[in-house]
């Protein structure tokens, strides 16, 4: 059975992403589009659109165009959408990188994508220079000034008309994001102009923003949640965005108060803070009207606590990097639908639930793997045709790796994850990657990693280790920490006599999670 959206279908414009999201820039020319949380730098819609056009011309003058790749290695700053959309307008592809990732991880992604330009901050120049020596990066651009790099502002000196390369919105990839998908190491998710237009449009439809909306842009733009629902949908709807380069509790609360933020896009870690922290009482958060949670499942009781404390609507949506957003709770705070759901499907989205053993389609209120399709679903994984075939059905349905059901009202409930991905503070952590590092330790004979519940982080990566020589948990955790990004660190270790495995050798992660739960 295929579950269809209760929302009427909408037409996806056959245009480019940049022209779509900046279509109202002229009429909003005097309005502030984006500002730094410190207030040091801001761009009106008119200034931003002009900077995008001039930077696209500057890139074109450097020979950058269709088929070329520009990498972004920067946290959320006001210039991020300028560089992103300049590359898109010039006909190129952007690979959005996480600055917290290791040099090895970043070099691999740059080489895989074939990036020739790298945009970063002066503070990241040493890392960027090291990456350039290991990849095909030919030039480093920085926001600001730094010796040994080209100032991004030099691109803005071009007054020529921006290039108009031939773009096929349904086929040409505008951005590569990274996701672990259902299993294994992070993979490049190829999203076309049409995919990203559909995503921004769906956000506008399921979570419309008022004309005076002020949004705190703290979800990172290198993540689908921040790039699509915050940055691109924000530009499309003419909101004012306030960028934060990183989440710090007191700075986060101060920014809401000082900038009179009306809407938050947040991960559950932030909602724990808002619902329970005594810090909140020190700040005036009365400007908040709505909070939309994403990145990981939000506990209904937590949403209720936050809503009651702040007096604003708290809702959550659901989707993957491969297709976001797909489901969203109703805006109506008096909605009688269960807070345990992630809402109904967005316009143009079809969903089906299949038996995890037989693959047969299931009906309402039956648990199975969640699949969905729509115009926002990725083109495929970069340089991974076999994995793409396993994830995308020939008819366009995307395997999510999540277990759930659709009730009689069309609301989707997430029950569990079939996939092994760990969600740590909204970041994706692959247990397979951590297991490989654990197994490289000379005193480790076998290992498994699972996510265990944590109120603040959603999940913590926990390692179960079989040793072959005396070793301490601290020694093992330090060993892993030296080789991974901070958010990927193993936070707990438990020594075990044998890793439980299936007859074909797969780790029985559920039994390890049950073991952890029983020990609490």
> In 3D, which of 7, 20, 9 has the Cα closest to residue 49?
20
Interhelix angle 249-259/268-276, nearest 10 degrees: 80
Find out whether the peptide bond into 441 is cis, omega within 30 degrees of 0: no
Let me know: does 461 contact 420? Beta carbons within 8 Å.
Answer: no
pTM tops 0.85, yes or no: yes
Q: Give the pairing type, strands 139-142 and 492-495.
A: unpaired
Let me know: does 152 contact 143? Beta carbons within 8 Å.
Answer: yes
The SS3 of residue 376 is coil
pLDDT at position 182 is 45
> In 3D, which of 396, 268, 395, 265 has the Cα closest to residue 323?
396
Let me know: does 484 contact 473? Beta carbons within 8 Å.
Answer: no
**From first to last of its 520 residues, what are the pLDDT tens digits of the chain?**
999 999 999 999 999 999 999 999 999 999 999 999 998 999 999 999 999 999 999 999 999 999 999 999 999 999 999 999 999 999 999 999 999 899 999 999 999 999 999 999 999 999 999 999 999 999 999 999 999 999 999 999 988 778 899 999 999 999 999 985 544 578 999 999 999 999 999 999 999 999 899 999 999 999 999 999 999 999 999 999 999 999 999 999 999 999 999 999 998 889 989 998 999 999 999 999 999 998 877 888 889 999 999 999 999 999 999 998 998 987 654 443 356 899 999 999 999 999 988 999 999 999 999 999 999 999 999 999 999 999 999 999 999 999 899 999 999 999 877 777 898 998 878 888 899 899 999 999 999 999 999 988 999 999 999 999 999 999 999 999 999 999 999 999 999 999 998 655 678 888 999 999 998 8
CB within 8 Å of 475: residues ≥ 6 apart:
443
- What is the token pair recorded at 417? 């994850």
- What is the token pair recorded at 173? 């990839």
Q: Give the pairing type, strands 93-96 and 173-179.
A: parallel
Residue 110 to residues 88, 105, 132, 306, Cα–Cα distance (Å): 17, 9, 9, 40
Residue 369 to residues 327, 364, 389, 392, 447, Cα–Cα distance (Å): 15, 13, 17, 13, 27
- What is the token pair recorded at 279? 């810090």
Q: What does the alpha-carbon distance between residue 440 and residue 438 come to, in Å, rounded to a whole number?
A: 5
- What is the token pair recorded at 276? 């329970």
The SS3 of residue 80 is helix
CA-based end-to-end distance of the chain: 40
Buried b / exposed e over 369-400, threshold 16 CB at 10 Å, is bbbbbbbbbbbbbbebeebbeebbeeeebbbb
* Dihedral pair phi/psi, residue 210, rounded to 5°: -75, 165
Helices and strands (H and E) in the chain: how many: 15, 27
- Chain position carrying tokens 């940055």: 231
> In 3D, which of 200, 175, 40 has the Cα closest to residue 109?
175
CB within 8 Å of 239: residues ≥ 6 apart:
209, 213, 214, 215, 263
Q: How far is C-alpha 106 from the chain's CA centre?
A: 17
């Amino acid at each position: 059975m295929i579950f269809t959206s209760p929302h009427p279908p909408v037409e996806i414009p056959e245009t480019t992403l940049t022209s779509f999201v900046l279509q109202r820039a002229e009429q909003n020319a005097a309005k502030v589009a984006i500002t730094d949380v410190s207030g040091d730098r801001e761009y009106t819609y008119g200034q931003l659109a002009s900077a995008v056009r001039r930077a696209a011309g500057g890139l074109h003058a450097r020979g950058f165009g269709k088929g070329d790749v520009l990498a972004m290695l920067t946290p959320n700053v006001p210039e991020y959408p300028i560089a992103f959309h300049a590359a898109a307008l010039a006909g190129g592809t952007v690979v959005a990188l996480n600055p917290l990732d290791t040099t090895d991880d970043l070099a691999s992604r740059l080489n895989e994508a074939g990036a020739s330009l790298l945009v970063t901050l002066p503070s990241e120049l040493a890392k960027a220079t090291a990456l350039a020596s290991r990849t095909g990066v030919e030039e480093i651009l920085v926001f600001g000034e730094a010796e040994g790099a080209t100032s991004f502002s030099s691109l803005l000196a071009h007054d020529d008309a921006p290039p108009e390369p031939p773009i096929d919105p349904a086929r040409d990839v505008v951005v590569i994001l990274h996701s672990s998908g259902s299993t294994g190491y992070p993979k490049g998710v190829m999203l076309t102009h049409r995919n990203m237009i559909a995503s921004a449009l769906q956000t506008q439809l399921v979570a419309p923003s008022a004309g005076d909306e002020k949004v705190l842009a703290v979800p990172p733009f290198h993540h689908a949640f921040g790039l699509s629902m915050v940055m691109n949908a924000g530009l499309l709807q003419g909101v004012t965005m306030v960028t934060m380069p990183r989440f710090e509790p007191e700075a986060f609360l101060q920014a809401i108060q000082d900038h009179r933020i009306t809407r938050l896009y947040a991960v559950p870690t932030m909602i724990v803070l808002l619902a329970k922290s005594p810090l909140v009482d020190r700040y005036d958060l009365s400007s908040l009207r709505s909070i939309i949670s994403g990145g990981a499942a939000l506990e209904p009781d937590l949403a209720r606590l936050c809503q009651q404390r702040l007096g604003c609507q708290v809702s959550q949506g659901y989707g993957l990097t491969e297709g976001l957003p797909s489901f969203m709770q109703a805006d109506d705070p008096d909605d009688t639908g269960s807070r345990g759901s992630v809402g109904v499907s967005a316009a143009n989205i079809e969903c089906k639930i299949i038996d995890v053993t037989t693959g047969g389609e299931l009906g309402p209120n039956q648990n199975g793997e969640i699949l969905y399709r729509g115009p926002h679903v990725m083109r495929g994984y970069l340089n991974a045709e076999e994995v793409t075939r396993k994830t995308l059905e020939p008819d366009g349905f995307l395997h999510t790796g999540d277990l759930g059901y659709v009730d009689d009202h069309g609301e989707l409930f997430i029950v569990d994850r079939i996939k092994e991905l760990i969600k740590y503070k909204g970041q994706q952590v692959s247990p397979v990657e951590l297991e490989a590092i654990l197994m490289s330790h000379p005193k480790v004979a076998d290992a498994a990693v699972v996510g265990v519940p944590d109120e603040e982080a959603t999940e913590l990566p926990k390692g179960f280790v079989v040793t072959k020589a005396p070793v301490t948990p601290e020694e093992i955790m330090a060993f892993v920490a030296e080789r991974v990004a901070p958010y990927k660190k193993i936070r707990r270790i438990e020594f075990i006599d044998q890793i439980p495995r299936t007859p074909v050798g797969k780790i029985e992660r559920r039994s390890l999670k049950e073991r952890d739960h029983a020990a609490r």
